[in-house]
Amino acid sequence: MPIETWLTFILVFMILGSIISLEIKDILSSIIAIGVVGLGVSLSFLFLQAPDLAIVQFLFEIFALIILIRAFIKKDYHVEEPRIVNKILIGITVITLCAVFLLSIKLFELLPPFGEPLMKTAQYYIDNGVEQTGAANFVSAIILDYRAYDTLGEITILFTSVLGVFTILRIKSKVKKVTAGDDDEN
Amino acid sequence: MMKTDKGMSIIVKTVTRISVWLIILYGIYIIVHGHLTPGGGFGGGVVIALAFLNVMLAYGKEFTEKWLNFQLLHDIESSSVTVFLVVGILGISLGGAFLANFLSKGDLFELYSAGVIPVFNILIGIKVGISLFLVVWLLAGINPEEEDE
């Protein structure tokens, strides 16, 4: 079977999972249905022969699932009653999306066929990468040698996010302590 | 699972005590072999973060705070970015460009090969593993019931 068939199958699976996660009433089932989307992305990376991305995507899905369950399972959510305005908005969105899709059909015809990208930079890396970097895993050679600036930026983002979480949560706890102290004095 | 402060049952604790070291070993393997096999610093770092998270879920937050020195973890995590930059700047003097590959390339498929790529992989692994775990640890400190007041 060609790879496009498998990818279409996985895509339909992912769309079904996201629709279920939106519509289902139980919050735990909804979080697990979100996990289906990540699993589909991971599987499609495997079919496209990118095991590095598949590993990271799969692990991060587990991570996100744990965080989501920890964050949301205790809270109670009120069920939103369906209103007429919402239905009108959904109709307008569907009509707009269909119009955009119909108007851009000519653009889709211009796209190159599957597996033949327009960019020819990758061919240079494949031809010269092994001699220039000496790394057997090619993805590693690209993200840490040719594109090391990108990795530096990624690390900086992680660093900044940890700093941000530290700062925000510390401010909150200090405020709590101050208010608690005031209550004791009164 | 929600009684994270008291920990889980003795079965979970016993299994965790054995399996957590294997998970950490697997993460280290993925990081060190990042330039040979699929994976690398990011994937291996997430594996290590999940191992620590496993301990925190099974044994509870208080035990983990006694077991690990969180201030030291925060310092290591912050300094790994600095070391990354230092290695990058060393590339200017020794290799001619920022983040240049100035160490010897070695033989293909050997563990000691590919110059600075394994060094960067190890630094990224430390960074990703510790910082993801720290974020979860900080978020676990929030009590949802207190937030509503």
Q: What is d(CA A62, CA A73) in angstroms, rounded to the nearest whole number? A: 16
Residue A77 lies in a domain: no
Residue A95 has pLDDT above 90, yes or no: yes
Number of domains in chain A: 1
Quote the ipTM score.
0.77
- What's the burial of B48, exposed, middle or buried (CB within 10 Å: 0-12/13-18/19+)? buried
| Residue-averaged pLDDT of chain B | 82
Residue A160 lies in a domain: yes
- pLDDT tens for residues A33-55? 888 998 999 999 988 888 888 98
User: Does B127 contact A155 at a Cβ distance shorter than 8 Å?
Assistant: yes
Q: What is d(CA A53, CA A114) in angstroms, rounded to the nearest whole number? A: 19
Question: How confident is the model at residue B25, as a pLDDT?
Answer: 93
Residue A50 lies in a domain: no
Residue of chain B whose Cα is closest to the Cα of A166? B138
Residue A164 has pLDDT above 60, yes or no: yes
Q: What is d(CA A89, CA A30) in angstroms, rounded to the nearest whole number? A: 23
Residue A59 lies in a domain: no
Residues 8-47 of B with CB under 8 A from A: 30, 34-40, 42-43, 46-47
Q: What is d(CA B138, CA B73) in angstroms, rounded to the nearest whole number? A: 13
User: Does A136 contact B36 at a Cβ distance shorter than 8 Å?
Assistant: yes
Residue of chain A whose Cα is closest to the Cα of B117? A144
Q: Does A130 touch chain B (CB under 8 A)?
A: yes
What are the tokens at A88? 């009108």
Structural domain boundaries, residue A174: 137-186
Residue A149 lies in a domain: yes
Q: What is d(CA B111, CA B29) in angstroms, rounded to the nearest whole number? A: 11
Which of A136, A139, A119, A113 is closest to A56 using CA atoms?
A139
Q: What is d(CA B123, CA B128) in angstroms, rounded to the nearest whole number? A: 9
Identify the sign of the CA torsion A161, A163, A168, A173: positive
Residue A79 lies in a domain: no
Residue A186 lies in a domain: yes
- pLDDT tens for residues B62-119? 888 888 888 888 889 889 888 988 888 888 888 778 877 777 777 777 777 778 888 8
What are the tokens at A23? 């519509």
